[in-house]
Amino acid sequence: MECPHKYTNEEISNAAHNVRKQVLRLVIDHGGGYLGQTCSSAEVITTMYMRVLHLGESLGSMEAEPFRGAPGPDNMDAKRGGLHHGPATGEYDRFYISPPHYAAGVYSALVECGRLSREAIKHYNKDGWQLEMLGGEHSPGFENMGGSLGQTISIAAGAAHARKLKGDSGKVYCYITDGESEEGQVWEAIQSAAAMKLDNFVVYFDANGQQCEGATKDILSLCADNFVDRFKAFGAETVVIDGHDIDAITAAAATPHPGKPLVVVCVTSCTRDMQILERRRPNLHHIAFGKDELAEVEAFYAAM
């Protein structure tokens, strides 16, 4: 569905809060999950869906759907997560989400903006259903399989190039992360997008400072400032914002970038509104709570 009204900052902020709370519940119930990534991305993802993106009415099911394995319409390959972004016709935007491990937050954001039912979340990470822990091309909100990490930006840039050649008015947005941007393919894609003058291409970049092995600054000595300089050097118009500031997220999308792709570096925190995670730094990639922590975590959840 298209946005029924212009969402207020309060509504978007509440949606981001609900996304974090929902994913905390999923992590508790499923014995682990990618909670830190939801903490860092909640405002950006909800603001994208609820204000920035121009999407048509969803063509995807409001409910989670099972796979039955046989060839045909019930097969996994026939279910496309991008249908939840509406028609792929030229007047509408497209939204490519690169990191598959951000899936729980994406599903929860789709619930908040009315593109997926709240009941569908009950099938999260359930064998044979669309809402997998690691999103694929069949998962709601995902246009493609994002692995190996770093490949989606090339797919999104290709879509932007095709749209520019056709004269489409809709833009292509891509959401990527700092850890995956250690891959060389990310920089080849940005360099190519700059060379092709893809000013219909906008990248939102989650600079949360974390990756699988720990802090990005400890792996390859990278931080938000390094990435800003790199994106500029590779030819992109680049702005840096507080990735938890709804007004800044909104305003960044309107940054003039004639003849260039735009990259919005969003400085975020993997423990935002989730103080119980602070003691786990720098190991915030995948969160699983021990039995000795559950009472505290349940109390924190109840108080949210």
pLDDT tier, 153 (very low <50, low <70, confident <90, very high otherwise): very high
Q: What is the pLDDT of residues 265-299, one digit of tens each?
A: 999 999 999 999 999 988 899 999 999 999 999 99
User: Is 2 among the domain residues?
Assistant: no
pLDDT of 5 over the 70 cut: no
Residue 4 lies in a domain: no
Specify if 130 maps to a domain: yes
Give the residue carrying structure tokens 């694929």: 136
Count Cα atoms within 13 angstroms, Cβ side, for 182: 16
Q: For the chain, how many structural domains are there in total?
A: 1
Q: What is the CATH number of the domain that holds 283?
A: 3.40.50.970
* DSSP E strand boundaries for the chain: 94-97, 172-177, 201-207, 210-211, 214-215, 237-242, 262-267
Distance CA 4, CA 8 (A): 12
- Place 154 in a pLDDT band, splitting at 50, 70 and 90: very high
Range of the structural domain that residue 169 is part of: 9-64+76-303
Does the residue 70 lie in any domain? Answer: no
**Confidence (pLDDT) at 258:** 98
Q: How far is CA 12 from CA 8, 29, 47, 188, in A?
A: 6, 26, 6, 34
Per-position DSSP letters for 147-163, written without gaps between them: -STT-HHHHHHHHHHHH
Burial class (CB in 10 A: 0-12, 13-18, 19+), 17: middle
- Can you tell me whether residue 106 is helix, strand or coil? helix
**pLDDT surpassing 70 at residue 250:** yes
**What is the DSSP secondary structure assignment for residue 168, as one 8-state letter?**
-
Cα–Cα distance for residue pair 234/187, rounded to 1 Å: 7
| Cβ atoms of residues 242 and 207 within 8 Å | no
Q: Rounded to two decimals, what is the model's pTM?
A: 0.94
Question: What are φ and ψ of residue 210, in 5° steps?
Answer: -130, 150
- The CA-CA-CA angle for residues 166, 167, 171, to 5°, reads 105
Phi (first) and psi of residue 206, to 5 degrees: -85, 100
Chain mean position to CA 71 = 30
Confidence of residue 218 (pLDDT cuts 50, 70, 90): confident
Q: What is the pLDDT of residues 95-151, one digit of tens each?
A: 999 999 999 999 999 999 999 999 999 999 998 889 999 999 999 999 998 878 889
- For residue 128, the model assigns a pLDDT of 84
Q: What would the two tokens of residue 174 be?
A: 């891509």
Residue 184 resides in a domain: yes
Residue 185 clears pLDDT 90, i.e. is over it: yes
What is the Cα–Cα distance from 153 to 157, expressed in whole angstroms? 6
**Tens digit of each residue's pLDDT (9 = 90 or more) over 34-82:** 999 999 999 999 999 999 999 999 999 999 888 765 556 566 666 789 9
DSSP-derived 3-state class of residue 108: helix
Could you tell me if residue 69 is inside a domain? no
Within 28-121, strands assigned E span: 94-97
| 77, two tokens | 């390959």
